[in-house]
Amino acid sequence: MPKLGDDLPRVVRVVLFYVVFLVVMACAGLVVACVLRLDVIEGRAIVFTGATRNSLVVLPLALPDNLAITAVVVAQILVEMVGMVVYVRAVPKLLPARQSHGAS
């Protein structure tokens, strides 16, 4: 079984970059939604779309080559999946549905 060995610290640094990317993209999506005055659904879609990447698409390209590259791609997939679970809870709080005034 191949091991990451000396490459593990580099993989961890990349994982931290992916987490920071999720936070930055949430903020960027909120800014875009506000600047473009998007409704709630469109704003939430912008936040989610900006944060997701097509890491599963590149996984087959990484697999045969290098264990460290494969570990980075798999780490990206895992961080993105966990991030999307967090987004499902956080984004509605960041972009709440607007209450209609006058309705009883």
Q: Where exactly are the structural domains of the chain? A: 18-94
**pLDDT class of 86 with cuts at 50, 70, 90:** very high
Handedness of CA 7, 12, 16, 19 (dihedral sign): positive
Q: Are 91 and 28 spatial neighbours (Cβ–Cβ below 8 Å)?
A: no
DSSP state of 103: -
Helix (H, G, I), strand (E, B) or coil at 73: helix
Q: Which two tokens stand for residue 88?
A: 């499902």
Chain segment 35-84, per-residue pLDDT in tens: 999 999 999 999 988 888 766 666 666 666 677 777 777 888 888 899 99
